[in-house]
Amino acid sequence: MLLFVGLGNPGRDYAKNRHNIGFMAIDRIARDYSAPPLRQKHQGLASEALIGGERVLLLEPQTYMNESGRSVSEAARFLKIPVNNVVVFHDELDLPPGKVRVKTGGGSAGHNGLKSITAHLGPDYRRVRLGIGHPGDKALVTHYVLGDFAKSEAGWLDELMHVVAANAPLLAKGEDDGFQTKIFKDMSAAGF
C-alpha cells in the first residue's frame, strides 16, 4: 500500500491558494480514479483508490501546513506504510509554474509542511514538487503562496492537474523518473 499526501491548508479561504496545489492534485487523482468521497481520518481527509494496480490511501492533512507531519505519520503508522511508499505533493517556489520534479529525501527548502513531515518520518519520503514560480522578492513569498492562483493561470494549472492524475500509476509503481519525464512531455505537448 502507498500513501499519496497532498499538502495545503484546510478551509474554503485557502482552497484556491498556490500553497494548496497539493490538495488540488489529490482531489484530481481521487476524481479520476473514482475514489469514494474524502472523509475524516488520521487528522485529515482520506480516501482509498486503486492506481496502477496498487492500493493507495489519498490524504489531505487538516492540521494546517505547519503540522502536516502529525496527520501523515499517523496514517503511515496505522497502515504500516514504509516511508519510501509515502509520496508528498507540494508547491515549489523554485520551479517555474507547471514544471514538476520528483525526488526522494533532501531538505525542506523552507517549506513548513515538509519540515513537519520530516520531523515525524525522517527525510526519506518521495516528493512531487509542483512548480508555482517565485514572486521575485523573498519578502513577497508568504503573500504569494497564500494568494489564489490568478485566472490567467487556470490553463496550465488545469492541464497540470490532468497530467499528474493521468500519470499517477507511474508513481504508484515506483517509476518516479518515468512520471517526471511523462509530465514534461505531456505539458510540452499541451503548449506549457
Please give the positions annotated as active site: 19
Residue 154 burial (CB count, 10 A): 10
Q: Which three cell numbers stand for residue 92?
A: 515549489
Q: How far apart are CA 101 and CA 127, in angstroms?
A: 8
Helix (H/G/I), strand (E/B), else coil: 17: strand
Residue closest to 159 by CA, chosen among 127, 117, 190: 190
Q: How far apart are CA 112 and CA 118, in angstroms?
A: 10
Helix (H/G/I), strand (E/B), else coil: 35: coil
Angle subtended at Cα 105 by Cα 100 and Cα 108, rounded to the nearest 5 degrees: 75
- Give the number of residues written for the chain: 192
Residue closest to 58 by CA, chosen among 77, 73, 37: 37
Given a contact cutoff of 8 angstroms between Cβ atoms, the answer to whether 47 and 56 are in contact is no
